[in-house]
């Protein structure tokens, strides 16, 4: 059986994890806000410069050339913004996943310790029940590890797809 101290320690650990998640959420929000401020400042400066150049155009041909020239850098900056935003999100996701894995491993250890303590008090003839519980624990741990692997593979695939789409969009913008 779990003691009061073990339960209190587990609750404290979960509370620390929860506050850690909250701190990471605030930190990532700060990064997104900073990115948005930088992007807004850059867009404002670019728009002012672009408007000045349009107003100084001498003829319609130069005006059209300036308009087309504005689109490519804007597309590249949009792609860079998307990459940076994705980097922030994936970084936070990775940190939260790692913290969740650590918390899950700790919970597994505590559960295994509780089962071991309970096994010591099993009356004679209860060995089959103990073996069934241990097999169930082993199966659950194995399933959890498989789910972790699948999630990691899916995340890596999504990241590579995002990078490929961004690279294609940037190339297409440069080609225009």
Tens of each residue's pLDDT in the chain, 176 residues: 567 887 788 788 888 888 888 898 899 999 999 999 999 999 999 989 988 988 888 988 888 888 878 877 888 888 889 889 988 988 888 888 888 778 777 777 777 777 777 777 777 777 777 777 778 778 877 877 787 788 777 777 777 877 777 777 667 666 65
- The answer to whether 27 touches 106, Cβ cutoff 8 Å, is no
Q: Could you give the 3-state DSSP secondary structure of residue 59?
A: coil
Residue carrying structure tokens 């728009």: 47
For the range 158-163, what are the long-range contacts, defined as Cβ-Cβ under 8 Å and sequence gap of 24 or more?
159/86, 159/90, 162/86, 163/83
Query: Which residues fall within 8 angstroms of residue 166, CB to CB, at 6 or more apart?
Result: 79, 82, 83
As a whole number of angstroms, the distance between CA 3 and CA 11 comes to 12
What per-residue confidence (pLDDT) applies to 72? 76
As given in the structure block, the two tokens for residue 132 are 């069934």
Q: Which of 74, 72, 125, 99 is nearest to 14 (CA)?
A: 99
As a whole number of angstroms, the distance between CA 123 and CA 125 comes to 6
As a whole number of angstroms, the distance between CA 138 and CA 42 comes to 55
What per-residue confidence (pLDDT) applies to 33? 95
Whole-prediction pTM:
0.62
**CA gyration radius, the chain:** 28
C-alpha dihedral sign at 123, 124, 126, 130: positive
């Amino acid at each position: 059986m779990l003691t009061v101290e073990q339960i209190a320690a587990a609750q404290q650990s979960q509370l620390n994890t929860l506050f850690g998640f909250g701190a990471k959420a605030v930190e990532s929000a700060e990064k997104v806000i900073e990115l948005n401020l930088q992007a807004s400042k850059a867009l404002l400066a670019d728009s002012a410069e672009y408007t000045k150049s349009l107003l100084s155009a001498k003829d319609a041909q130069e005006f059209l050339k300036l308009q087309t020239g504005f689109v490519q850098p804007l597309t590249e900056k949009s792609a860079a913004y998307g990459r940076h935003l994705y980097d922030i999100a994936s970084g936070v996701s990775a940190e939260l996943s790692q913290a969740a894995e650590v918390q899950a491993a700790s919970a597994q250890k505590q559960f295994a310790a509780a089962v071991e303590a309970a096994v010591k008090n099993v009356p004679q003839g209860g060995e089959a029940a103990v073996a069934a519980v241990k097999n169930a624990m082993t199966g659950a741990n194995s399933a959890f590890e498989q789910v972790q692997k699948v999630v990691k593979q899916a995340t890596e695939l999504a990241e590579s797809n995002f990078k490929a789409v961004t690279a294609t969009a940037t190339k297409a913008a440069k080609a225009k």
